[in-house]
Structure 1
């Protein structure tokens, strides 16, 4: 027979995981908004480079996550 306390602990942790994902997502959103505001305050001359850098980071992160997932 399985240990019922282990099942209860796993269920409890399963409920907490989405909460932590929400907290992390909100912190990332706040960071992006603050960074975008600072970037907009600096003017359009730095926006091109920043957009290229951000786009490159997104592409690199996507490629890395795809490669790790396919292993």
Structure 2
């Protein structure tokens, strides 16, 4: 819920600055914030202990089954020409 307060404050500030005709360049601030967000997401992801081999094998099996299922449905619905 606390994410909505800065969001609404930013919307109101943008609306007020738009009405006054001022143009504020926030590109650098947005880029820096996104880089920090990505960095901290990486830090949090690095803390998680996973079994990488099991995850890789299950992902490959899931991807293969998804492709096979999609091709099967396409052949059933569209037929083979």
Fold match (TM-score > 0.5):
no
Greater relative contact order, per chain length (Cα 8 Å cut-off, separation 6+): 1
Q: Give the number of the structure whose residues are more often helix, by fraction.
A: 1
- TM-score, normalized by length of structure 1? 0.43
- TM-score, normalized by length of structure 2? 0.39
